[in-house]
């Protein structure tokens, strides 16, 4: 029986390879005859994809898939600053990709696990919880009972993010209190309370002030940071702390000459794409080049009022730069408020589990930009039919490549455990994607047993997939499902991450 199934799988793989060969032949003939037409190629590609899908379906009834589910926090553990990067517990660069709530006092209904895990499944790894300080209803404007209520809302929200396996930024959202020292005593008390509560958690990041503005200088902000940090450090000596910068978090370039005296601090830059363009991007580049670690803990793609029209060209230019430099970002705001920076349509009443129709223009853009599961770590496969989804990576020329790895059948032969996978690679960007590759990391060492439509090689537990030339160029909006491979090992192969790389 097992022998027969293996034979059937073998035939299926041969068929797939054969069809790839035919595609190559077809392209060769078409090119030789100078009759090369994009539409024809597309038809051939579609035919292959359909045949492959049928192949993997027919062979997927065997043993359960082995790719283990793992959340972003399970994958990456505690974060720390290293040079200008945020690194995970393995020493690998970690790019925050997040969503910020609106003010918790006003939109607490979105601070729930279903809401957060919906964005996690779309590629976010971080949720920022905005606790306004001075705006009406803000933490510093209410009495003790009001403060206790807000703390309960915040704690419930942190617990929901934690259950979703994501990082959480506790944001002391100063704004109309332009100089954060205005509420410095309250900040000390607040951070002392929350850091004591989350001292044992790896996933909590403290943002000790949102946006210093008005005439507030970097010297004032630094002094504030050094006054408030001990309240965090007493309980959470190694937690990541984010510190705002002057001019609504545009002056990150002011930090380098006089940084905060603490090794685990990132400095925040905020932008609203329709207002802030190249001049602010230049400040980011200057700050990074001067050695300042930066986190974009808030951005929108409309204007700085949080409303007005959307500038997706500017927004793409921003995220291309951030992706290129490995700088993390968090999108404002998770609500259905009738403003352009809300991620949900104002007509949407659902508080989680949204579909595409529920998203505003910004929400639609951000979901696409996250590309399905941008963290590369939201492995969700189980039971043989799941999909392991991978990160998106910009190759820098307006393309955004997104890979989806789907586990197929698994079997045992000659004392080794085998697993078959198929890859779908899509270009969600605006320009051609070339020069991409895929890295698949397994939990244990594996060997390549077979690969098709790609050159597959392995080093330890990392498989490198280089697409064959005839699938290597993806025009805007195009995708290929032709690539697949089989690996084997002493243990049942289990995927820990899938990453799109620049080949
Ligand atoms: C805006 C909200 C808006 C709210 C206002 C309160 O989108 O609904 O009424 O705050 O003042 C920021 C701030 C952020 C702003 C956002 C848009 O951090 O609180 O949210 N923005 O104006 N900095 C630049 C823009």
Tell me how far apart the alpha carbons of residues 254 and 216 are, in angstroms, rounded to a whole number.
12
Tell me how far apart the alpha carbons of residues 74 and 110 are, in angstroms, rounded to a whole number.
24
Predicted confidence at residue 407, as pLDDT, reads: 78
Clarify whether 113 is annotated catalytic. Answer: no
Whether 131 and 172 have beta carbons less than 8 Å apart is answered as: yes
The binding-site residues of ligand 1, defined as CB within 6 angstroms of any ligand atom, are 135, 175, 210-211, 248, 270, 272, 298, 304-306, 332-333, 337, 339, 341
Lowest mean pLDDT among 63-72, 171-180, 228-237, 250-259: 63-72
Lowest mean pLDDT among 342-346, 357-361, 381-385: 381-385
Select from 103, 129, 368, 309 the least CA-distant residue to 359: 368
Higher pLDDT, 65 or 492: 492
Whether 90 and 317 have beta carbons less than 8 Å apart is answered as: no
Whether 13 has a pLDDT exceeding 70, the answer reads: no
129, 173, 332: which to mutate for ligand 1, most atoms within 8 A of CB? 332
Select from 274, 328, 259 the least CA-distant residue to 298: 328
CA dihedral 449, 452, 454, 458 (to 10 degrees): -10
Tell me how far apart the alpha carbons of residues 39 and 471 are, in angstroms, rounded to a whole number.
15
268-306 as b/e: b if 16+ CB within 10 A? bbbbbbbbbeeebbebbeebbeeebbbbbbbbbbbbbeb
Whether 429 has a pLDDT exceeding 90, the answer reads: no
Select from 209, 228, 122 the least CA-distant residue to 170: 209
Nearest alpha carbon, ligand 1 atom 6: 135
Q: Which of 52, 211, 339, 362 is catalytic?
A: 211
- Token pair for residue 67? 């790719």
Q: Which of 113, 298, 339, 362 is catalytic?
A: 298
3-state secondary structure of 325: helix
pTM: 0.67
Clarify whether 298 is annotated catalytic. Answer: yes
Nearest alpha carbon, ligand 1 atom 17: 306
Q: What is the mean pLDDT of the chain?
A: 83
- For residue 371, name the pLDDT band (cuts at 50, 70, 90): confident
């Amino acid at each position: 029986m097992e022998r027969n199934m293996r034979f059937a799988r073998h035939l299926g793989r041969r068929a797939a390879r054969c069809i790839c060969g035919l595609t190559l032949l077809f392209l060769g003939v078409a090119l030789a005859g100078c009759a090369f037409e994009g539409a024809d190629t597309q038809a051939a590609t579609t035919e292959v994809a359909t045949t492959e899908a049928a192949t993997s379906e027919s062979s997927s009834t065997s043993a359960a898939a082995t790719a283990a589910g793992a959340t972003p926090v399970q994958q990456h553990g505690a974060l720390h600053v290293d040079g200008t990067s945020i690194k995970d517990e393995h020493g690998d660069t970690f790019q925050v990709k997040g969503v910020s709530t609106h003010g918790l006092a006003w939109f607490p209904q979105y601070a729930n696990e279903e809401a957060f895990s919906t964005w996690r499944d779309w590629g976010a790894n971080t949720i920022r919880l905005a606790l306004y300080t001075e705006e009406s209803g803000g933490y510093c404007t209410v009495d003790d009972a009001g403060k206790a209520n807000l703390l309960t809302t915040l704690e419930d929200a942190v617990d929901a993010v934690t259950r979703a396996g994501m990082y959480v930024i506790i944001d002391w959202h100063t704004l109309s209190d332009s100089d954060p020292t205005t509420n410095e005593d309250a900040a000390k008390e607040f951070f002392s309370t929350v850091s004591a509560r989350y001292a044992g958690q790896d996933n909590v990041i403290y943002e000790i002030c949102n946006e210093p503005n008005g005439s507030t200088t970097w010297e004032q902000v630094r002094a504030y940071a050094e006054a408030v940090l001990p309240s965090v450090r007493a309980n959470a000596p190694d937690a990541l702390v984010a510190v705002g910068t002057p001019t609504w978090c545009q002056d990150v370039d002011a930090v380098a000459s006089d940084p905060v005296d603490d090794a685990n601090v990132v400095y925040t830059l905020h932008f609203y794409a329709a207002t802030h363009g190249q001049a602010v991007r230049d400040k980011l580049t200057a700050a990074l080049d001067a050695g300042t670690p930066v986190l974009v803990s808030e951005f929108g793609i409309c204007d700085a009022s949080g409303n007005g029209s959307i500038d997706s060209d500017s927004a793409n230019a921003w995220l291309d730069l951030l992706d290129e430099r490995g700088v993390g970002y968090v999108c404002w705001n998770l609500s259905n408020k009738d403003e352009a920076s809300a991620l949900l349509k104002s007509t949407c009443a659902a508080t989680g589990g949204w579909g595409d129709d529920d998203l505003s223009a910004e929400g639609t853009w951000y979901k696409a930009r996250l590309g399905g599961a941008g963290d590369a770590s939201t492995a969700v496969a189980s039971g043989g039919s799941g999909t392991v989804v991978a990160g998106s990576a910009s190759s820098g020329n307006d393309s955004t490549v997104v890979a989806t790895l789907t586990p197929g059948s698994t079997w045992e032969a000659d004392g080794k455990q085998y697993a078959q996978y198929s890859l779908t690679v899509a270009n969600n960007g605006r320009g051609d994607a070339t020069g991409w590759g895929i890295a698949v990391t397994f939990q244990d060492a594996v060997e390549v047993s077979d690969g098709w439509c790609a050159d597959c090689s392995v080093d330890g537990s990392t498989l490198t997939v280089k697409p064959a030339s005839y699938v290597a160029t993806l025009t805007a909006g195009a995708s290929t499902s032709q690539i697949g491979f089989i690996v084997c090992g002493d243990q049942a192969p289990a995927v820990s991450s899938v990453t799109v790389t620049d080949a």
